[in-house]
Amino acid sequence: MKIIKQGAEAIIRLSKNKIIKERIKKSYRIKEIDEKLRKFRTKREANLLRKINFLDVPKIFNVNDKNMLIEMEFIKGELLKDFLKSNKSFDFELIGKEIAKMHDNNIIHGDLTTTNIIIKDDKPYFIDFGLGFISYKIEDKAVDLYLLRQALESSFPLISNNIFNKILQGYKLNKNHNEIIERLKKIEKRGRYKNAE
């Protein structure tokens, strides 16, 4: 089994054509609280992935909340971050359309970045719902978009505006599109004030 990613929350291993995601222990937390939290997050992520059968996301094969493991499909494609470096053409509106569907179903990704979207067969696949949750709030949906914009701007400052605008074109499918975009503008203003301080 090969470790392909090690984050703050989990270790991701590749075993044949399966991904094994293991939530790691946090020694700074009280043991019982740590176990409870990791178990809750493991279950929540697996439930979200099962619920999102209308998007391209990894299929769940097995969940072991005793060992905090999720076994899921390995999506063999290119991370959006790497794909953008290659200057290949892609219909970025598709990403916006898929996020619109996700938000219409009140699913918040929670970590919508260029490393959590994979491009495969001209389609976007969404991975790592470890910080995902259900919410009806306009604010939470706008924050999802804000995170994606921030990720694009930090890694691809010259093309981020163009790509994000295409994503927003696709996002117009969302039934609360206008409200969410208005809130996004407010969040961006707040972000600019914080940076100016």
* Residues annotated as catalytic (active site), given as ranges: 111
Question: In Å, how far from its chain's centre is CA 73?
Answer: 16
Q: Report H helices in the chain.
A: 31-51, 80-85, 93-104, 138-155, 160-171, 177-196
| Inter-residue contact 9 to 24 (CB < 8 Å) | yes
* Length of the chain as a residue count: 197
94 vs 7, 55, 97, 123, CA distance in Å? 28, 11, 5, 7
HSE-up of residue 136 (Cα within 13 Å, Cβ side): 0
| Inter-residue contact 144 to 76 (CB < 8 Å) | no
Collapsed DSSP state (helix, strand, coil) of residue 135: coil
The pair of structure tokens assigned to 90 is 């892609």
